[in-house]
Amino acid sequence: MEFGTPLWLLLIISLPTTSATARMRVWRGLKALGCVALRDGAHLLPARPELEQALQALGDECLREGGTAWLMAVQARSTEEATTYRGLFDRREEYAVLRKGWQETQRGLASMGAPELARLQRKLQREFDAARAIDFFPGEASIEAEAAWTVVNGRIESLLSPDEPHETEGRIPRLDAAEYQGRLWATRRRLWVDRVASAWLIRRFIDQDARFQWLAKPSDCPKRALGFDFDDATFTHVGDRVTFETLLASFDLEGDPALVRLGAIVHALDIGGDPVPEAKGFEAVMSGARERLADDDALLVEMSTVLDSLYAHFQREAQRNDDKPEAR
């Protein structure tokens, strides 16, 4: 066939009527992949290697359950037919449902606590990611949904971290920790990841006699205090660095690989970026501690123990890597 339209994958399956559990499992698998059912037992997808592999796995499962499965590559016979196939994967309705849910959700956000907000944010993010994963031909609806998600996610972020600092530009000067001893440090109260990690870093590596003041709002910061992690603070986000990373750079601590590893966790949880395996666990502990402890001093004490343990773990890993013989 010379017509140059893309190939499609067609999986035709049948299962014995007695295999109710297998039937449900296969149906869920097909739905998660974003298949379009042309008729009972006939499921269409764009021809992509990862989708072909997933469909083959579902077909193999049907065979193991005593059913039948045929996986074929098919091709549209005309431009009009190819357009029709693409139209079957129009996700406007799915995005509309998501956006309606986001609108309804926003009405109750202000009454939620931080742990509940964090759980809701993760749930909504998973749902949006799932919708985008099966949007094989994104168009205007996906752009509108992305814009709507940015709004609702920003609203959640603002409630989770009120007065979260904006990114600033500029060079980070190198400072002498000896000139920053016994100082008063101030940040926003109801500590979250970047603030608690920065406070731990200050007391552990910069100013062991540091005193902290937790602010209801940034404008309450005393003039004598060293503010951190809010707009116009002495130490805040610079470029793509979160406050913890800015402190590392300011006090020449970036040569410590264990602290850099901790910085990657804080960065991932505070502004996103490359996933870090330990981040979700730290977030869960932080969320639970925050729910249990209303006092920020107590929260810092508890999370400092967690950060001490992570630091020791990363130190040991760094030492092991240093002790490995060079590859011959």
- Give, in order, the Cα–Cα distances in Å from 167 to each of 148, 195, 197: 22, 15, 18
Positive or negative, the CA dihedral 221, 227, 228, 233 is: positive
Tell me the angle at which helices 92-106 and 114-133 cross, rounded to the nearest 10 degrees.
170
pTM above 0.95, yes or no: no
Residue linked to tokens 């907000």? 117
pLDDT for 151: 81
Phi and psi, residue 8, nearest 5°: -125, 160
> Which of 60, 80, 81, 74 is CA-nearest to residue 10?
74
Helix (H) or strand (E) holding 263: helix 257-271
Q: Which fold has domain 7-87?
A: Alpha-Beta Plaits (3.30.70)
Q: Are 301 and 196 in contact (CB under 8 A)?
A: no
Residues 116, 119: Cα–Cα separation, whole Å = 5
Count how many residues are written for the chain: 328
Q: Are strands 7-14 and 42-46 parallel, antiparallel or unpaired?
A: antiparallel
pLDDT of residue 219: 92
Binned average pLDDT, 10 residues per bin, the chain of 328 residues: 67 90 93 94 95 96 94 90 92 94 88 84 91 93 89 80 63 93 95 96 97 94 95 91 96 96 93 84 90 94 97 94 63
CA distance 306 to 317: 17
| DSSP three-state, residue 262 | helix
What six digits make up the tokens of 307?
């950060």
Q: What is the pLDDT of residue 327?
A: 41
Burial code of 70-98, b = ≥16 C-beta within 10 A, e = fewer?
ebeeeebeeeeebeebbeebebeebbeeb
Spans of all domains in the chain? 7-87, 92-160, 177-323
Pair 189, 237: CB distance under 8 Å = no
Cα(297)–Cα(7) distance, integer angstroms: 61
Helix axes 296-323, 279-292, angle to 10 degrees: 160
Query: Which two three-digit tokens encode residue 183?
Result: 């100082």
DSSP label at 167?
P
**Is the Cβ–Cβ distance between 203 and 301 less than 8 Å?**
no
